[in-house]
A = this chain, B = another copy of it.
């Protein structure tokens, strides 16, 4: 792979970097050094792959969506089944990698931020598995909305720390996790859940998630003897998307990232950071974000808690500006419809996040030729969303 970013300042073109308080420069350097060394160490790689295979159950399946393909009558559709990972989403790939790194660095305690609780659960899970202490920062509002995930984390032995600053949601939980880390970076490792944050996080999380794309490439070739024409993935922070896209960046494959349009990209209630945001800094990284005219960060909106983040990974900002990846957006209503579509056509209830990618793919697959092929990354399963989906369908 000859993609040469990030540069040594952690920049992807104009994006990325380390916009953090001075106090964090040392811990970031420590992580970067440890990471570089670990990634070169065959025993670390082996340990990481071992946990992916024998703990999380990788490789995840690449499922041919027989009925969906037939119903739409267009491109041949495959689903990359990240929903089959232990704990139900791609999040664990990264959590495993970082937790192993933390352990290698001699850190006995990890901290993590979470919105809906998916990354929190993944972090609590690997912490339990590796015998680390785990604190999960979570907005007060999210704690109320996601009681089951809160309990799940506690059952796994993690401490869930309620964050009452700001809007009391994911962005604030992240702020608070960073604040806590600043004060405790000597013995705590901060396990970020997506390709966001200061360098080396976006790169590290990408490298722990690229297993999605690497596997897909191999599996797709086995099944079809070629590469897919297009690949779809939803984009919140952007980790499942970059994990899927990265190994295909230099191939002749169209890559499509789907943001959450919430109630509509022309309303204030959306989370379409690239399509409707502006350049700036969030959580230590230069990227796109949703902000007001004075540079105050604005609370985004999406029905899916995992896409409801006002920033986006800097590599996506770069791939957007370079035009290598096409970004689209899908509304709440379209995503919910796609949940239904996939459930009834394939017996797979996707996470609402993933349903954004499905909705866009369904739109486009119809227009494509049956000789063309696509892959949709099903980043997670919908079990966590059943209450939301139920409420929505019962209202509507």
Contacts and interface: CB of A to CB of B under 8 A. Distances in A.
Interface of A: 53-57, 60-64, 66-67, 81, 83-84, 86, 88, 124-129, 131, 147-148, 151-152, 155-157, 339-340, 343-349, 383, 386-387, 389-390, 393
Given A155-B389, A386-B151, A390-B151, A126 B347 contact: yes
Contacts of A126: 347
6 contacts: A57-B81, A147-B390, A151-B386, A152-B349, A155-B343, A155-B344
A387 B147 CA distance: 10
B55 A63 contact: yes
A156 B347 contact: yes
Contact of A67 (B86, B131, B343): B131
Closest 4 CB pairs of A and B: A128-B347, A125-B347, A129-B347, A57-B84
Contact of A155 (B88, B155, B156, B349): B349
A386 B157 contact: no
A152 B381 CA distance: 12
B148 A345 contact: no
A156 B54 contact: no
A156 B349 contact: yes
A254 B196 CA distance: 50
Nearest to A394: B151
Nearest to A66: B129
B349 A148 contact: no
A41 B333 CA distance: 45
B128 A345 contact: yes
Contacts of A346: 128-129
Given A55-B63, A57-B61, A348-B86, A386 B128 contact: no
A55 to B, nearest CB: 5
Contacts of A148: 386-387, 390
Contacts of A155: 339-340, 343-344, 349, 389, 393
B67 A129 contact: yes
Nearest to A71: B131
B61 A128 contact: no
A263 B344 CA distance: 40
Contact of A64 (B54, B125, B393): B54
Nearest to A81: B57
Contacts of A393: 155
A61 B96 CA distance: 16
A56 B84 CA distance: 8
A125 B350 CA distance: 12
A61 B50 CA distance: 11
Contacts of A54: 61-64
A346 B128 CA distance: 6
